[in-house]
Amino acid sequence: MIDWILETTEESRAQQSFNSRAKTKGVGVRHSKYDDVIMFCVKCKKTWQKNRKMVNRKWEYYPKGNIPTIGKKRKQCPNCKEGK
């Protein structure tokens, strides 16, 4: 048991653990970019973004409750602005 504790607390093992945690910080940066792109409509309560996938639609809408709204910009969607 003592050998296992000494092995897991060696400096090189601690450094490997630290390096692996440092690599995962990029995930948080990626999510902040999505928060800048996806917006929350204050009128219809849907999340939406400019469509990058298909040419025939300008905007992509997500169902209510499908994407967390915390941290999203609050803005009226184009459908609500046009009165659809």
Whether 52 maps to a domain, the answer reads yes
Whether 17 maps to a domain, the answer reads no
Segments forming the whole domain that contains residue 84: 38-84
Whether residue 17 has pLDDT greater than 70 = no
Token digits for 68? 């967390």
The count of domains in the chain is 1
Cα separation, 60 vs 23, in Å, equals 31
Whether 54 maps to a domain, the answer reads yes
pLDDT at 40: 94
Cα separation, 46 vs 77, in Å, equals 8
What would the DSSP string read from start to end of 7-75? Answer: HHTSHHHHHHHHHHHHHTHHHHHHHHHHHHH-EE-TTT--EEEE-SS-SS-SEEEE-TTSS--TT-EE-
The confidence band for 6, taking pLDDT boundaries of 50, 70 and 90, is: confident
Residue 62 bridge partners (DSSP): 47
For residue range 41-83, list pLDDT tens digits in order: 999 999 999 887 767 888 888 888 888 888 889 999 999 998 8
| pTM beyond 0.85 | no
